[in-house]
Structure 1
Amino acid sequence: MDFFDLVIRYETSLWNHLDDRLRAAGEVSLANLSALRVVRRHADTARVQELRTELGITVGAASKLVDRLERDGLVVRSAHPHDRRSSLVTLTPAGDAAHDDGVAALDSALAEHLAGEDVSAVTALLARLHARVSMAVAP
C-alpha cells in the first residue's frame, strides 16, 4: 500500500474504532460528538455554517445533522439576532453532558490507541499537511 491508501484506510479504520468505542460506552456517535464539539467551540455563535466548515460537509448535511441533534434533545436552534436567514445552535444541558461524557470516552480511547506514539509530532505533521491542502483548495 502506498501513502495515500494508508492514510485513507487509517482514517476510516480509526473513525470506525472510535465510533464503536463510544457506542460501547453508551455515548453519542462520533458524528454527533464531532458536531457537539463544534457547537461547544463556538459557544453562543454556532450556526449550521460553522458545522459545515469545520466538519467539511455540505450545508444540507450539516442542517440534517443539526435536525437530528435537535430531535435528540442535544441542541436547540434560536433566531439569529442579526441575520434572519440564519439561526444559532446551542447545546442543551443534555448536549453539554453528552459532549463532556463523549469527549472523556474519546480521549480515553485515543490515549489507549496512541500509547507509545509521539502524539505531538504526529499532530504537528497532520496540521502542516492539512494547512497545505487547505491552501491549495482555498477560493
Structure 2
Amino acid sequence: MEENRPAVAEQEICGLVNGLATQLDAHIRDRAIDLGLTAPQAVALRELAAPMTMRELAQRMSCEPSNATFIVDRLEKQGLVERGPHPTDRRAKVLTLTPAGTGTRERLMARLTTDSPVARLNPEEQQVLKALLQRATGGT
C-alpha cells in the first residue's frame, strides 16, 4: 500500500510546528521566571507593545477574554498595567503599560530574543518562516 504523501507531509509539518511551539513556550516560561512573571503574564506584556482593549489582548494571546482579564488583574496588582477609559466605547477599557511595566517589558523582550528557537534562523530565514506561517494561518 502506497503512503498518502500529502497526509505524511501534513503530519510532518504539524509535528514540526508543534515542536517549535513547545520550544517557544518553554523559552518564554524560562525567561518569565527570571522577571518574577508567569508565562501568560510574559505573553501579555510581550503583546502590549501599544495600548489596546482587553478583547484585542485576548485575541493576540489566543485566549478567552476572561483568561486575559485574570492575567491583567495580576499585572495590574504588580503595578505593570493600568486600565483606562476607551475614547469611543464607554463599555471598554484600554490597557496601557505603566512606567514599571514598560521597563519590565523591555527587559522581557531582551531576554526573549536571546537564545530563542527562532534566533537559530538568520533574518532572511525568519522572514520566510513568518511569511509562510502567515500564509498558512490566513493571517497578515
| Structure 1 unpaired stretches of 5+ | none
Distance 2:63 2:82 in 1: 20
- 1:96 Cα deviation from its structure 2 partner: 0.3
Identity over aligned residues, as a percent?
30
- 1:40 Cα deviation from its structure 2 partner: 2.2
2:25 pairs with 1:15: yes
Aligned to 2:5: none
What is the TM-score when the length of structure 1 is the normalising length?
Answer: 0.76
| Structure 2 unpaired stretches of 5+ | 1-10
Structure with greater proportional helix content: 1
SS in 2 for 1:82: coil
Distance 2:101 2:67 in 1: 19
* 1:8-49 per-position Cα deviation (integer Å, ceiling 9, x unaligned): 2331232113321342x43644422321233223x3xx1101
What is the TM-score when the length of structure 2 is the normalising length?
Answer: 0.76
> What is the root-mean-square deviation in Å for CA atoms of aligned residues?
2.4
Aligned to 2:128: 121
Distance 1:37 1:65 in 2: 13
Equivalent of 1:34, from 43, 59, 64?
Answer: 43
Distance 2:121 2:85 in 1: 47
Distance 1:79 1:116 in 2: 41
2:11 pairs with 1:5: no
Q: Which deviates more, 56-65 or 93-102?
A: 56-65
**Whose Rg is larger?**
2
Number of residue pairs matched by the alignment:
128
SS in 2 for 1:40: coil
Aligned to 2:103: 97
2:70 pairs with 1:64: yes
